[in-house]
Structure 1
């Protein structure tokens, strides 16, 4: 073979190996045109990333066909596209595990033993004749592929039951580097002990080929072949389910990278790309480990997947592996022509467009995860493989839930679940004061969103940083009494988490302490930023989270949205920033955007009452013929085991009652009320009276409106009562209905009297409720003079027991 020579490709500073590969680009050089051409067909503009022209070319590159495991031969001249490899793809059942993949079985494996007729070996394709026994143990069978550094051949181990192995060797023309490169690779391989990498069984030397490695043999489809197959036969991968499988590849690869990057090993993979990831059966392997080296050491890379931060000789750090994985997954998913297209795909702009659909948020989250992985500066990327894995798992759960409508729950690694439902008061029985205002029979019930300051106090709380000095104490704290907690932590040694805790506590005491509490919260946040330090603070999402809380506390919703959007960009797999963005969208009058965020959170974890209430409010705000049904469905989907189930069912009853315009609507509300009392946890007797007064009042307005034509007949009222739960004792005629309502209003008057503030110039609420009781009671010819109407007794009791102002 001819010696190594300069690459003739215009502008390329690399050299060409005897096998015709450019060490700078990792591509084969066309001997006729002198230009780079990939071994596999050149991808189109929508398929693969283009190298960044601003990136310097590396000194080393690898494109070993060990990575693609093709058993076809690259001859001289332009590279030919390999034919599709026959394989069977078995789609797995639906499963919430983010590592589940299809089963891929090659139908014509190189080690299938189907004979030379199936896999003819051209003359000169092997460095030694087929059948040669290497080192007295490994019998050569056929080539598996060529690459920039040499051959990979199939062999049988004659001393271990003839098992198939892969023999990797370097060309004799590279003998000057052969010993050092192969020895280094052997050392790295021997130390690897993870299922995500191929294993090294042995190593040896044979005259005519020099040093060689004996590797575990795997034969399947690499990710480039998987991508091509999924585009050609999308049904084999469940159509849009393929995006979830792409994340499963990412989660599996990250497990291997985390093992490699661990401080006790301190290595990088260096050359992560689709051809180097093999899917064989139900396993995935990183197959070309020749690029493994110590972090920061020079080594092999491939230009199209190399991070801009990699040194000119391939010096890589762990974040550079994460970049290469991000590019690999972006190419696999077909998201844009280059990584720079991810910015547009990750934008929030289209989310308020009803044509975009709620399921589009999963794609936005995926684009944001890959965009963070492929940022230009290392500091802007994920810090560790574990951090990236957590976010890919979260995006997987979101995609799956949006696609199937089925819960895909896993506890958040970064946030504690909030105890609050953020229901805007709709999840509790109406306050007694609700009956002080005149009825508006034709108006739909108002379902207000909670105010921004309330949202700021009740959004989920970030979990304490495990590396913080006070992690143990912070993890055990109860947040029931913010003022007591401020006192309790007053003498703690300062740390970022302690300052962030004080910031949140100041927000919670603000309703009592006034604007001074907000100023104190801002001071605590500034101290947290100083404690984190100028190098880390710009990349710490916790600071933006608390800035968003402070902006909400001051009702600066647009400003808060900007902070929460940056948090979403940093941790796109988490539900908490989407919940915060949903509330911001509500207050900015973007109901479809709000619904998009709420649905993504609600479907993933229906137990989160805040998302269910938000989705119900957004549905009603958007309107439409199915708005009420969708709103009620969202509330009823909150499961029985959720702490918010009673609030959600209470809200459903109130919404159904408020929207009832005929007997059918009333009947639905009555049945929901019975379920609330008997199965969904509303046991407080006073709350039950208020809920009955709400529903009975709707019935009274339908059968005897203040003006206009009745919308319900006596027969229809009787039919509603017959279908109701007998325990509810719903009245079957108008007279019984009025008697019940009068009794309820007298009960509410007593509640109002007990809770009444000191008397002022306005008519007390209790007396207004008694007036209602008088007005609604059935007509009677007379009352027994010795037994006056109970309302008179109650009214006298109210007058005698309501507290008065001094001097009143």
Structure 2
């Protein structure tokens, strides 16, 4: 018969308020602590000394607390320090004869191991009949195995889905302790990381079994279920083996699969490309990818350091929280610079004058082309360990040819080669032949400098290969490269932005929306994510598509460099989808805010935006005086009454036509100066003059176009409008 599991210990769990800090945890208070039952319990079987025994003349034994890997742990009171509760760790009997060799070399260093993530070692001593012992800080709470069981039985105590964020908070806290231990000046490993060795007491967490701490590469204690495949036969461990054990601890805690091998299926992207595939949420995919990288079989495939793993767990936390709450959880990326470009495909600017060369068509807002995106995706931050980190960090986003010349005599390094790859890519995109040979050569040199041992695991190479694939419009290849980057750094937003774009280009609209929304919600300031989400929502359609698209653009905050582009796009989309007076009124009011509060100050752009909105009103009015249209003259007056007075939106049909005719004449002036000749050979200025003539209200007197527009030249001035030709 198996031994019945011990009943769960009674505890109170208090959820903390919502907070973007990835280290915040619930408050867990045991209701029956081991140090609260008095000082005179019955001596348990196997205890080498009776309760009340004074160890080394200082520590009075009270009761057993449990067993660690090297021996029994007992509660005691320190009679020389206010009778404080301490934990005394004594060796198993079979190790007692080796106690000196096991503890002497480490005990002083353990006392000096002063970090909040570890249980403190106050002292060490020797007592006849027991041998050597350690005196540890006493903590009494739920270990992570108990937390897992409790969260499984009572998920509401941990906020339901919020528990995954708390799992990451455990990871971030444990990694801080491991980073302290792994630091070169200490060179130690924990060796036996597992859920029972992490205690949650109140609002603190501690690694409690310090008996497994040892020099990196030295033999020591491990536990089979959490031991990395790369650990030696006698427990010889390296820092990356601790990261493996942490990955397995976190996987077990949140219940992702029966074994680490199940993480591959959980990390797949395929289910994201349908209407129901996003039910798991991209955050769960990112979490599975982070744990999968931590638990790779080979050390080279795992996170290189505790700091690197910490950065990615923090990123996944921010993603999970934003997807759950819809609230921003932003922190500057440690690996990418934020791009200055919105990747809006022109939607975030007033229409070009050529927009009016043809009759209005169904709304269509295409994404920018792959080569354009290749030159405008976020740029990786330079590696802090690179020889040229300082110089690279000070470079501005200047002309690529000038930067190539400026860096031409720099000593070669991986980051310098990667910079030249990006610069030569941008030069090629500006040239007529688009030759990417120079960029490919620079990337090959970067790969050689990184070396064959590290190259297959360096995400920077895949990122730049993805950019080159986009520059050639090889979107499926680019998607594969960016997916590898996402697997390596699952907490970062940049690969998800790139994957969202690739999915959009490949017609995988649900997948594109999933990626774009995850990035947008986490940091609404990123215009590229907002514009991508808008395009995907409008392409997918549905009753709420327009409302959700406008909401995504309105969520771009005032402090974002993309705020004006987002508000401009919101006006244009409202205009495109205006079908009645309500839709027109929303567009007019949004245009007023764009002019007065959201930064559109360029006068030519203002005229073009007014032409769009006034033109929509004219289209909705239909026949003269509002007859037969979607709105009436009375509704036009109501729209004008609620518009910003500074906008001077017309309140009657005649004033609307007068304004619109004037706008077309101004655009004709712009076209005569700037716009290229259309393919049919008819000058755009003439087309716009015809529009002005057609929309102009009838009157008894008409000014001659030649008098009004001497700048158009004699040929156009003497030519009657095309609409008058018979």
Q: Paired residue for 1:364?
A: 285
How far residue 114 of structure 1 moved from its aligned partner, in angstroms, is: 4.4
- Which residue of 611, 616, 621 maps to 2:539? 621
Q: Paired residue for 1:99?
A: 23
Structure 2: runs of 5 or more not aligned: 717-726
CA pair 493-309 structure 1, distance change in 2 beyond 3 A: same
Q: Paired residue for 2:157?
A: 236
Specify the SS of the correspondent of 2:13.
strand
Q: Paired residue for 1:111?
A: 35
CA pair 337-760 structure 1, distance change in 2 beyond 3 A: closer
- Which residue of 676, 697, 706 maps to 1:792? 706
How far residue 752 of structure 1 moved from its aligned partner, in angstroms, is: 0.9
Query: Any conservation in 2 of the 1:125–1:143 contact (CA below 8 Å)?
Result: no
Query: Any conservation in 1 of the 2:11–2:31 contact (CA below 8 Å)?
Result: yes
- Which residue of 237, 262, 266 maps to 1:345? 266
How far residue 760 of structure 1 moved from its aligned partner, in angstroms, is: 9.3
**TM score, norm. by length of structure 2:** 0.96
- Is residue 639 of structure 1 aligned with residue 560 of structure 2? no
- Which residue of 442, 447, 451 maps to 1:529? 447
Q: Paired residue for 2:489?
A: 571
Q: Paired residue for 2:14?
A: 90
Q: Paired residue for 2:521?
A: 603
- How far apart, CA to CA, are the structure 2 residues paired with 1:281 and 1:774? 78
- How far apart, CA to CA, are the structure 1 residues paired with 2:479 and 2:303? 22
Q: Paired residue for 2:310?
A: 389
- How far apart, CA to CA, are the structure 1 residues paired with 2:190 and 2:629? 77
Structure 1: runs of 5 or more not aligned: 1-32, 34-77, 803-808
Q: Paired residue for 1:724?
A: 643
Specify the SS of the correspondent of 2:276.
helix
Query: Any conservation in 2 of the 1:185–1:291 contact (CA below 8 Å)?
Result: no
- How far apart, CA to CA, are the structure 2 residues paired with 1:618 and 1:223? 41
- How far apart, CA to CA, are the structure 2 residues paired with 1:759 and 1:250? 61
How far residue 181 of structure 1 moved from its aligned partner, in angstroms, is: 1.6
- Which residue of 315, 327, 345 maps to 1:424? 345
Specify the SS of the correspondent of 1:357.
helix
CA RMSD in angstroms comes to 1.7
Q: Paired residue for 2:243?
A: 322
Instruction: Give CA deviations for 1:646-690 in whole Å, capped at 9, x if unaligned.
Output: 000000000000000111110111111001001100000110000
Specify the SS of the correspondent of 1:89.
strand
- Which residue of 722, 744, 752 maps to 2:671? 752
Query: Any conservation in 1 of the 2:64–2:74 contact (CA below 8 Å)?
Result: yes
Instruction: Give CA deviations for 1:479-511 in whole Å, capped at 9, x if unaligned.
Output: 131111111112221111111111111121223
Instruction: Give CA deviations for 1:564-589 in whole Å, capped at 9, x if unaligned.
Output: 00000000000000000000000000
- How far apart, CA to CA, are the structure 1 residues paired with 2:646 and 2:192? 71
Q: Paired residue for 2:125?
A: 204
How far residue 618 of structure 1 moved from its aligned partner, in angstroms, is: 0.6
- Is residue 775 of structure 1 aligned with residue 694 of structure 2? yes
**TM score, norm. by length of structure 1:** 0.86
Query: Any conservation in 2 of the 1:741–1:776 contact (CA below 8 Å)?
Result: yes
Paired residues for 1:230-379 under 5 Å: 230-357=151-278, 360-379=281-300
CA pair 295-759 structure 1, distance change in 2 beyond 3 A: closer
- Is residue 715 of structure 1 aligned with residue 639 of structure 2? no
How far residue 113 of structure 1 moved from its aligned partner, in angstroms, is: 4.4
- Is residue 664 of structure 1 aligned with residue 585 of structure 2? no
- Which residue of 517, 520, 543 maps to 2:438? 520
Specify the SS of the correspondent of 1:555.
coil
Specify the SS of the correspondent of 1:464.
coil
- Which residue of 110, 129, 140 maps to 1:219? 140
How far residue 202 of structure 1 moved from its aligned partner, in angstroms, is: 1.2
Q: Paired residue for 1:450?
A: 368
CA pair 473-371 structure 1, distance change in 2 beyond 3 A: same
Query: Any conservation in 1 of the 2:668–2:686 contact (CA below 8 Å)?
Result: yes
- Which residue of 471, 480, 483 maps to 1:562? 480
- How far apart, CA to CA, are the structure 1 residues paired with 2:28 and 2:357? 69
Specify the SS of the correspondent of 2:65.
strand
CA pair 204-79 structure 1, distance change in 2 beyond 3 A: farther
Q: Paired residue for 1:592?
A: 510
How far residue 190 of structure 1 moved from its aligned partner, in angstroms, is: 2.0
- How far apart, CA to CA, are the structure 1 residues paired with 2:701 and 2:69? 107
- How far apart, CA to CA, are the structure 2 residues paired with 1:155 and 1:400? 42
- How far apart, CA to CA, are the structure 2 residues paired with 1:86 and 1:341? 33
- How far apart, CA to CA, are the structure 2 residues paired with 1:187 and 1:297? 17
How far residue 520 of structure 1 moved from its aligned partner, in angstroms, is: 1.1
CA pair 224-644 structure 1, distance change in 2 beyond 3 A: same
How far residue 148 of structure 1 moved from its aligned partner, in angstroms, is: 4.9
- How far apart, CA to CA, are the structure 1 residues paired with 2:406 and 2:96? 70
- How far apart, CA to CA, are the structure 1 residues paired with 2:678 and 2:701? 33
- How far apart, CA to CA, are the structure 1 residues paired with 2:544 and 2:69? 62
Query: Any conservation in 1 of the 2:43–2:50 contact (CA below 8 Å)?
Result: no
Q: Paired residue for 1:502?
A: 420
- How far apart, CA to CA, are the structure 1 residues paired with 2:678 and 2:316? 57
- Is residue 696 of structure 1 aligned with residue 620 of structure 2? no
Q: Paired residue for 1:193?
A: 114
Query: Any conservation in 1 of the 2:52–2:62 contact (CA below 8 Å)?
Result: yes
Q: Paired residue for 1:140?
A: 61
CA pair 125-519 structure 1, distance change in 2 beyond 3 A: same
Q: Which has the higher helix share?
A: 2
Q: Paired residue for 2:334?
A: 413
Q: Paired residue for 1:469?
A: 387
- How far apart, CA to CA, are the structure 1 residues paired with 2:678 and 2:250? 69
Specify the SS of the correspondent of 1:335.
coil
- How far apart, CA to CA, are the structure 2 residues paired with 1:552 and 1:188? 54
Specify the SS of the correspondent of 1:88.
strand
Query: Any conservation in 1 of the 2:271–2:278 contact (CA below 8 Å)?
Result: no
- Is residue 437 of structure 1 aligned with residue 355 of structure 2? no
